[in-house]
Chains A and B, each alone.
Chain A
Amino acid sequence: MGSIELVCPAGSPAMLEAAIEAGADSVYCGLRDETNARNFPGLNFDASELTRAVDFAHRKGAKVLVAINTFARAGGEDRWRSSVGAAITAGADAIIAADLAVLAHVRELSPTVRLHLSVQAAANTPEAIRFYVETFGVRRVVVPRVMSAPEIAELIKESPAEIEAFVFGGLCVMTEGRCALSSYVSGQSPNLSGVCSPPEAVSFERTAEGMVSRLAGLALDKTPAGATAGYPTLCKGRFATDGEAAYLFEEPTSLNAMGLLARLRDAGVTAVKIEGRQRGKAYVARVTGAFRKAIDALDRGGSTAPYEHMLTDLAEGGRETEGAYNRRWR
């Protein structure tokens, strides 16, 4: 492992193997239900696949972090208990959770298993982090994608836990863990059901003029023919105000903070994370490979520049941004 731990997504055993072969230090994955925030059809692991995946990863010197990061539903808590049990039995290196009840249950079941606080918990102050550390023994916090790089640097100075930051993939501009846009129109949300814009509610209509993307029948964007579109989420919809159509909340674009790796490392970030468990083998192999090369180059005293534009075609809408890391407004 280099100076920064590279944490990569695994939506299936095949994707987990591809990520590790491409140079991931750790992979994160979820069980095949609503207990994780990528609950898409055909994705994720059953308990026996998870056990085999942990064995494979450990043989290759990599770690497996299991995301159980949605919020338990009243009356349905057993499903979250079952996922926690499966992760511990499989020998997971850490459990990523956000819900206080899930964090408490993990600690009750195992006093030693490593706990990471999910980005879904939206912890962005030393006081919040201290609470999770003192109450549940959380060892690492994944910081929200709305924080700027200077804010993260300040946070690290007082954080009693390791800090992990997203560096590539889909962006979420809302206070994470508290967004209801998807459930407002589709009945399902990332926080409760583990899915934002569930695919069964998504449709695409391609015409000679371009493509119309819809969620639950509502047209969210119209992309001209030849232009690259994005997955229809309400936060990335194009809305008309004052006679002009614009992306009011967020443009369909992907985070790529490879150019900030040195700054994040120097600020004390322990691990960097790639988003995209729903994407597949080709995506994870290419993104992991590029970030592996960039981190290795940094560790040799070199530059990340040769690798910074290798992934543009994988970005949502074919466009990349450094997101809130370079945000100058408050």
Chain B
Amino acid sequence: MRFSGERLPARILTDLALALRPPVEMLLNLAVRRAWRRSANAFGRLGRFQHRPYLIDPADLPVAFELTLSEDGGAVKVVRRVPRPNGYVAEISGGLIDLLALFDGSADADATFFAGGLTIYGDTGAVLALHNALEAANLRLADLLVPAALAPGLDPILQRIVDWRRATRRAGGEPHGVY
């Protein structure tokens, strides 16, 4: 799971990942649409942060994700990391496993953040609003990772993998997702 750039320069890894952008974006946008259909009111919880882009930055992936949500729906783009200031209302960075666990509500955001598992930059109110909107949307891991038809069967399996990975990392004293 770790794209450290030890073998390939980080820039080449990023370019390779960006080349895969269309199918990844399609999958993620389907996931957002699915969550929006299931609980349309949830994204409205963003209030004044609707239509404002967030940067979701898994530290162990070569690319980041731009997420924009509103009560009318939402969109995800695969993007290259750019220096600040960069127009994002907030940036949330951490390990992919921690971010997935936060998005599906299986991890406590405060505990993860204050233990050092997340870094946020920008408007703290915007981060809180996003967290609350995603919680209310009742996302499941499978919503984010697999096509809708496979989601019901795969969700418990994915959840176990993520829980196991987080538990083993805690037991081994590895810091939460900061690489």
Contact = CB atoms under 8 A, between A and B. Distances in A.
Interface string B142-179: 00000000000000000000000000000000010000
A230 B109 contact: no
A41 B49 contact: yes
Given A41-B129, A42-B130, A200-B123, A279 B136 contact: no
B114 A282 contact: no
Nearest to B175: A226
DSSP class of A's interface residues: helix, strand, loop or mixed?
mixed
Interface string B97-127: 0000000011111110011100110011111
- Interface residue tally on B, bucketed by range: 20 to 34
Contact of B109 (A200, A203, A280): A280
Given A204-B124, A280-B105, A280-B108, A226 B135 contact: no
B132 interface: yes
Contacts of A314: 108, 110-111
A41 B47 contact: yes
Contacts of B29: none
A133 interface: no
A43 interface: yes
A225 B116 contact: yes
B108 A279 contact: yes
A42 B138 contact: no
A318 B170 CA distance: 14
B12 interface: no
B56 interface: no
User: Which interface residue of B49, B105, B126, B129 has the most chain A CB atoms within 10 A?
Assistant: B105
A230 B111 CA distance: 9
A236 interface: no
Nearest to A40: B128
Given A15-B135, A40-B132, A281-B105, A200 B125 contact: yes
Nearest to A206: B119
Contacts of B132: 11-12, 40-43, 280
Interface residues of A, number: 37
Given A12-B136, A49-B41, A279-B108, A230 B119 contact: no
Contacts of B80: none
Contacts of B107: 282
Contacts of B41: 46, 49
A148 B91 CA distance: 43
B45 A226 contact: no
22 contacts: A11-B132, A12-B135, A14-B105, A41-B45, A41-B128, A42-B128, A42-B131, A42-B132, A42-B133, A43-B132, A49-B41, A199-B124, A199-B127, A200-B123, A206-B119, A226-B175, A278-B128, A279-B110, A280-B105, A283-B108, A314-B111, A316-B110
Interface of A: 11-15, 40-43, 46, 49, 198-200, 202-204, 206, 211, 225-226, 228-231, 278-283, 286, 313-314, 316-318
The 8 closest A-B pairs by CB, nearest first: A42-B132, A200-B125, A41-B129, A42-B129, A42-B45, A199-B125, A281-B105, A199-B124
Given A199-B125, A282-B108, 13 more contacts: A11-B135, A12-B45, A12-B136, A14-B105, A14-B138, A41-B49, A41-B129, A42-B45, A42-B128, A42-B136, A204-B124, A206-B119, A282-B105
